[in-house]
Amino acid sequence: MSDVEPDRDDVVAAPPPAGETDAAAEPGPERHRAGPTDRVLPYTRVLAYVLIPFLVAAAFLLIVLPGGTEQHFAWTIAPPITAMLLGSAYAGGIWFFVQVAVQRRWHRVRHGFPAVLVFATLLSISTFLHWDRFHFGHISFVTWVTLYVATPVLVLVAIFLNLREDDGMPEGDDVEIPAPWRYVLALVGAAATVTGLVLFIVPSLLIGSWAWEVTPLTARVVGAVLTLPGMVNIWMLWDDRWSAFRRVFQAQLVSLTFILVALAVRFGDLEWTRPSAWMFAGGIVVSAIVYVAFYVSLERRGTRSV
Residue 174 counted as domain residue: yes
Summarize the confidence of residues 111-134 as an average pLDDT. Answer: 97
Is the CB of residue 62 less than 8 Å from the CB of residue 100?
A: no
For the stretch 239-253, pLDDT in tens is: 999 999 999 999 999
pLDDT value at position 164? 85
- Asked if residue 113 is part of any domain, the answer here is yes
Q: At residue 118, does pLDDT exceed 90?
A: yes
* Per-residue model confidence as pLDDT tens digits over 75-95: 999 999 999 999 999 999 999
Assess whether pLDDT exceeds 90 at residue 149.
yes
DSSP string, 76-122: --SSHHHHHHHHHHHHHHHHHHHHHHH-S-GGGTGGGHHHHHHHHHH
Residue 234 belongs to a domain: yes
CA pair distance 211, 56, nearest whole angstrom: 27
Q: Would you tell me how many other CB atoms lie within 10 Å of the CB of residue 188?
A: 19
Quick one: pLDDT at residue 306? Answer: 47
Tell whether the model's pLDDT for residue 33 goes beyond 90.
no
Phi, psi of 75 (to 5 degrees): -160, 155
Which residues constitute the domain of residue 201? Answer: 36-305
pLDDT over 50 at 12, yes or no:
no
DSSP state of 61: I
| Residues 296-301, mean pLDDT to the nearest whole number | 94
| pLDDT score recorded for residue 172 | 84
Instruction: Say if 6 falls within a structural domain.
Output: no
Residue 64 contacts residue 208 (beta carbons within 8 Å)? no
| Distance between CA atoms of residues 147 and 37, nearest Å | 30
- Could you give the CA distance from residue 246 to residue 144 in angstroms, rounded to a whole number? 30
For residue 241, list its beta bridge partners: 176
Query: DSSP letters of 5-55?
Result: PPPGGGS-PPPPPTT---GGGSSS------SSSS---HHHHHHHHHHHHHH
Q: Is residue 271 part of a domain?
A: yes
Q: Give residue 26's pLDDT.
A: 40
- How far apart are the C-alpha atoms of 147 and 17, rounded to whole Å? 57
Mean pLDDT of 247-266: 97
Q: Which of 217, 48, 21 is nearest to 130 (CA)?
A: 217
* Distance between CA atoms of residues 116 and 97, nearest Å: 10
Best CA proximity match to 188, nearest among 298, 288, 87, 109: 288
Q: pLDDT band for position 305 (50/70/90)?
A: low
Question: How many domains does the structure of the chain reveal?
Answer: 1
Answer whether residue 9 is part of any domain.
no
Neighbours of 241 (CB within 10 A): 21
| Any domain includes 56 | yes
- For residue 88, being part of any structural domain is answered with yes
